[in-house]
Amino acid sequence: MSDLLVQLFAEILELPEEDFSDDTAPENTPKWDSLASMSLVSGMEDRFDVEFSTMEIMKMRNLGITRKILTQKGVSFEAE
């Protein structure tokens, strides 16, 4: 599974893309701490040109939910 979102997560968390699935979450990914979470939010806002509400950020408990929130905002992740 690889798309622009996974690429971004892999880049920021410095992990191989194949390590990611929709279940990837802070609980099973030690590098996803609160500082990384802040970088992920900035990174997604920069790359996909969106802005999250604080509640949305709170809800992003794993990669799957995060993808869903972005999709709702009309973002598509197809790798070019």
For other proteins, the binding residue among 7, 52, 75, 77 (CB under 8 A) is 52
Nearer of residues 25 and 57 to other proteins, judged by Cβ: 57
As measured in angstroms, the least distance from the Cβ of 14 to other proteins is 8
For other proteins, the binding residue among 8, 57, 65, 75 (CB under 8 A) is 57
As measured in angstroms, the least distance from the Cβ of 38 to other proteins is 5
Compute the distance between CA of residue 2 and CA of residue 8 in angstroms, rounded to an integer: 10
Computed from CA positions of residues 29, 10, 39, 47, in that sequence, does the dihedral angle turn out positive or negative? negative
Give the chain's end-to-end CA distance (angstroms, integer): 14
Nearer of residues 4 and 57 to other proteins, judged by Cβ: 57
Binding residues for other proteins, rule: CB under 8 A, are 11, 34-35, 37-39, 41-43, 46-47, 52-54, 57-58
